[in-house]
Amino acid sequence: MPKRQSGNKKGKQSNFAKLSIFQPNKYKFKKTCPLSVKGAPEVDYKNIKLLKKYVSENGKILPSRITNVSQKKQRELSLSIKRARNLALI
């Protein structure tokens, strides 16, 4: 039971609310970190095209709860975004 509850909470957070509580778990919207997948691009301060995806229109860093980036990658991202800012690339 506690597992299901946590699943429900996650659904609300990412605006993918379950249609029914009795729906089997396999239909749950499962998101994984887009940067940890095999063949994902490397996070680097020179790769502006990638970094721009994780920055809002005002130039702020997007929180990982929106972009679904893992903790480790989020740290790398924020560091490289700050480096790119210093060089006036972003």
Q: Are 73 and 43 in contact (CB under 8 A)?
A: yes
Query: Judged by CB under 8 A, does residue 89 bind other proteins?
Result: yes
Number of helical H runs and strand E runs in the chain: 4, 0
Window of 1-9, 23-31, 68-76, 79-87 that interacts with other proteins by CB under 8 A: 79-87
Residue 47 binds other proteins, judged by CB under 8 A: yes
Q: Among 9, 67, 32, which Cα is nearest to 18's?
A: 9
Per CB under 8 A, the list member of 35, 43, 45, 73 interacting with other proteins is 45
* Residue 61 contacts residue 77 (beta carbons within 8 Å): yes
Q: In this complex, which beta carbon is closest to other proteins, that of residue 8 or of residue 47?
A: 47
Residue ranges binding other proteins (CB under 8 A): 42, 44-49, 59, 83, 86-90
